[in-house]
Structures are given as structure tokens and as C-alpha cells.
Chain A
Amino acid sequence: MMDQKRLIYPHRSYKKVNANKYVILKEILVLFFFWLVFTVFVDVFVKGLIQISQEVLDKVYSLEKSSIAHHKLLFWDVYYIVDFGKYPSSEVSLILIFLSFLGMIIFLKFPFIRGVSIFFSFVCFILFVSSLYFFFLPEKFPYSLASFSKIYVDTLLLSWINTGLLAILSVVFFPIKTVLKLSFLIAMYIVLFVIGVVKYVFVIITIKEYSHLFTPLMFFVFGPVIDFLFFLFLYGMFVNKVLNPTRKDIDNWRWVD
């Protein structure tokens, strides 16, 4: 009846999202359906990632070609690259024991952006434990590059599935169109795929070139943590870009009742 705004813009304390349960339920169903389809076919994407990674590795190491193997993980057929890594000498391990210990202390005391510096102290801690391990028990290290590669790809696959789930739960309550939420999921997966290729090739080259001593670091730091960091970054940007223009739109909000 009236083209003027129906309500007075509520103060932040009295505000909530204007949505009804059925719309939210519909959105959950749409987003979960997308996620489910992705999950069912995730091994296809992983295979694509492995093939691209292999091509890159073949360009880097033109003389020694890496091979691809696969195994069953639940109902997925997961492909991974099989290659050979290097073991560190005890001198290198010893040097890294000292360097990583020093790094641990320095980063722990570093006065700027302490969250980041304590994180890097954690990185040094992982390296420290690994160096100690390789100094005292190098023959006991339980992983080859091939077995680690398998574990790493399995983790990557599960990380994609979980990040998708987390992304759905994180956007589902927003007062924006379903298509935007879906776009975010797709964009996130594209970025995670690209990062996945870089990460995987990086991990294999690092272990091949700089030894198995870095394997724990690759798993604990350059594994799902990177995916999660990028997810947070993309999510923050998405919220800023997409929700900023809608924030003054009164129809998105309703007075608490």
C-alpha cells in the first residue's frame, strides 16, 4: 500500500534478521544439496588436483617422472602421487635443533602481533620436535613420501568437505539471497582447489629436496590450517562486500519480538 518505509530503523540492541523458518530451511536444503553433490564427487576434483600437480612436478623434475597411485577411502577412490623423499643428515638435524629452539624462544618473546608470533613459535616447536626425532631416531620415522602423500591427500579431501560444511553453517543465517551464498561456496572451493595444487606440489618438493624432517611441519602447518586461514580470509571479505550494501536495507531487519 505504501511506498514509504514501514518501520523505524531499530537500534542494534533491538535488531534481528528478518527471515522466516521456511526460507531458512529451504536455503539449508539447497546449500546442503550442493555440498552433498560436491562430497559425492570430491574424489573427481582430487584426481584433477593430482593430475595438475603431477604435470607441474614433471616440469620441475623433467628427468624423473613421478607416478600416481590410488586407494579406497570410505567410498571414494583417492589418487595420490608416489615419490621418494630425502632423509636429513645428523648435522642438519643438529643445526635445526638449535635454530628451531632459538626461533621458538625469539618468537615467544616477539613483542608485535603476538598471536602471529606465538603461532610461529608453535611452528618452530614442531620443527624442533622433528629435528630431535631425526637426530636420535632417524630410522624409526614411520612415513615414506608415498605414505605421507596418501595421508596428506586424504586430509585434503576431508578438509574440503569439512570446510564446505563450516561455510554453509557460517552463511546460512545471513539476510542475503541463496544464490550469493551458493556463489560464496563455489568461489571458496575454486580458491581451495588452486591453493591445494600449490600446497601439494610445495609439500612434495620440500620433502624431496629438503628431507623428511619437514614432514610434520607440512602436516601440521601446511595442511588444513592453510585451508582454514584462506576460508576465514574469504569469508571476511565476502561478509564485508555482500553484507555491507544490505545493512541499511530495513527489510533485512526486524525489531526483536
Chain B
Amino acid sequence: MKEVILLLGVSLLFIPIFLTLILGFRNNSLSIDMEYVKDPFYFGNSFRKKISDVIFSSTIINKNLVKAKLSREELIVFGKINFINSVVYRNCVYVSFGENHIRKGTYFEKEILSTGNLYIGEDSVLRAVASNADIFLGKGVHIVRWIDAQGSIQLGEDCILGISSASKKEIKLAKGVRFTRLFGFPVCTNKNRIKNPSREIRENRYGKEVVIHADESLLIVGDIFADEKIELKNVKVIGNIFCHGDVYLENVEVGDENSYFSVIGNKVFISGNSNVSIFGYIQAGYLKGFVV
């Protein structure tokens, strides 16, 4: 009995060591995607690639419907989705050719790829949308994850754009839109550009708050960084705008056709009544970008 206790006592020191050595040894290194590149078109491109990769390995169910393995086994509908009653196939991925119209109030649980222009009716809810041409969103459309267009994207009022929205051309904003990440050439409220600025400043700006309300339009060649707030009015910026707090833009142009920049803030407020046009990237916290 005594010996057993002594043995047990001494082994108290060794039990955690041995158990750790036995149980804790098998785990792998963290993996890094060595080819990762920050790309606003990542979601759209990777979805297109997945569709083209599986197109010949899918199981044909009928002339319009196939089963294929995307991230998991999915039903893919090939063909027109014009005015489809989404209740029928709402949990299918759609690959639709030519111009397409989605009815008002339609709800799609899965991704849609349209080869032509895509018109999305008011108050529809879609998980993710890609188009090889233009996309037109009606009022109150909700994109849950991402939207990607080779052409332009025209938004209706009060649209909600999930994580990422990217266009190779223009993203036209409307009042009441909420967003997280936008990338376009440009992302704008309307097509009016700021007239030739009367004054020019060539320097980087940094401060706790940067507030510039120019009476006449002003050109700033340089980056603007702030910790808490950036407020710009009547300014053209050839540089990036970055704030750990909130960004307010009214009559602001960022970048031009030859050089793109970023506007990044925790919340980004864009005045929908003014001319705001950003060549490049806008990023806010999740759905903390607002067109007001």
C-alpha cells in the first residue's frame, strides 16, 4: 500500500508529461495559401472557374439539370432563368445564358451565373451573383454574399450588398445602399465629375481627425490617413483615404482612369446627393458602408 502511494505520488509529475507526449504529438502546421493575392474579383472568378471545371464531370439529370461537386454536391440548372418561379429550384445553382430577368421578390439560395445582362427585380434575395455583362439591381435587392460583373453594376435604392461587390466597369450607387467592399471603375453616385480643381496640395495628410471642407474644389495629391475621422467635401484626391474610424465623403473624387486607390474606414458614408466617384476600392466593416 505504502509503495503504491509513493509510486503514485512520484508519477503525478510524469503523468501530464507522458499523456501530453502521447496525445498531443499529432497535429499539423498551419497552412498558408502561398498563391493568395488580394483580389476583389476573387469570388466571381473562383465561382466561374469551379463551374467550368465541373461542367464535363457532372452527372446529367435532365437536359437542363445536372449534379456536380462544387464545394459540395450541388444541382446546377443550365438555361434561362427568365422570370422563373424560384420556389421550384431555389436551392440550385443557376448558369443562365444571354440576357436574364429575375422577378420581383425572388429568393435564390445558391449562386447565379449569367452570361448576358442580368436584371434583378425589386426586393429579391440572392446568395451570390456573377455576370459576364452588366447587372441591374432593383430597389431593395439583398445580395447575401457577393456580386461580380464583367460589365457595370447599377444599384437601386436600399440595396444591401453582402461581403464583396466588384465590377470591371462602373458601380453606380443609389441612396440607402449598404455595402462592405466595393471595387469599380469608378464606384460613383452619378456620372458627373468634379470640375478642374482651383487649388492643389501635394502632401500626405495624417492626423487624429482630417476634416477638409473646401469652398472651391481642391486637389490633394497624396494619401490621407486618420485615426478617428476623415471628412472630405469638394475634394479630388489622387491618393488613398484610410481611417480607423469613420469616413464621410461629399463631392469627392478619388483617383482617375489611370490610377486606382482605396477608401477604407470602419464606417464609410457617401453622400448620395453629391458627386462621389472613386476609382478603385472602398472597404467598410461588415455592412457599415452607407450611401446617405
Chain A interface residues (CB < 8 Å from chain B): 1-4, 6-8, 12, 56, 59-60, 116, 195, 198-199, 201-203, 205-206, 209, 221-222, 226, 229-230, 232-233, 236-237, 254-255, 257
Contact = CB atoms under 8 A, between A and B. Distances in A.
Interface of B: 1-2, 5-6, 8-10, 12-13, 16-17, 19-20, 23-24, 30, 43, 107, 109, 125, 127, 144-146, 162-163, 266, 285-286, 288
Contact of B5 (A7, A201, A226, A254): A201
A221 B13 contact: yes
23 contacts: A2-B125, A8-B146, A8-B163, A12-B30, A59-B1, A60-B1, A60-B2, A198-B5, A198-B12, A201-B9, A202-B6, A206-B6, A209-B2, A222-B9, A222-B13, A226-B13, A229-B16, A232-B16, A233-B19, A233-B20, A236-B20, A254-B286, A255-B286
Contact of B145 (A8, A195, A209): A8
Contact of B24 (A2, A236, A255): A236
Contacts of B6: 202, 205-206, 209
Nearest to A59: B1
Chain A interface main SS type: helix
Contact of A230 (B10, B16, B23, B146): B16
A206 B107 CA distance: 74
Contacts of B20: 233, 236
A205 B6 CA distance: 8
Contacts of B144: 2, 4, 6
Contacts of B24: 236
A244 to B, nearest CB: 11
B9 A7 contact: no
A222 B15 CA distance: 13
Contacts, number: 73
A138 B19 CA distance: 39
Contacts of A209: 2, 6
Given A2-B109, A202-B6, A255 B13 contact: no
Given A2-B125, A7-B162, 13 more contacts: A4-B127, A7-B163, A12-B30, A195-B12, A201-B5, A202-B5, A202-B6, A202-B10, A205-B6, A222-B12, A230-B12, A236-B24, A255-B285
A203 B288 CA distance: 62
Contacts of A4: 109, 127, 144
Contact of A199 (B9, B16, B146, B163): B9
Contact of B17 (A6, A12, A59, A116): A116
Contacts of A203: 9
Nearest to A226: B12
B125 A1 contact: yes
Contacts of B8: 198, 202
A257 B163 CA distance: 13
Nearest to A257: B285
Contacts of B23: 237
Nearest to B9: A202
Nearest to A195: B12
Nearest to B287: A257
Contacts of B285: 255, 257
A198 B4 CA distance: 10
A202 to B, nearest CB: 3
B13 A56 contact: no
B172 to A, nearest CB: 24
Closest 6 CB pairs of A and B: A202-B9, A257-B285, A233-B16, A229-B16, A60-B2, A226-B12
B17 A60 contact: no
A222 B107 CA distance: 65
A234 B258 CA distance: 59
A69 B5 CA distance: 23
A230 B8 CA distance: 14
B12 A199 contact: yes
B241 to A, nearest CB: 18
Nearest to B285: A257
B102 to A, nearest CB: 16
Contacts of B2: 60, 205, 209
B5 A60 contact: yes
Given A2-B144, A59-B1, A236-B20, A198 B9 contact: yes
Contacts of A7: 145, 162-163, 286
A36 to B, nearest CB: 28
Nearest to B107: A2
A257 B288 contact: yes
Contacts of B43: 8
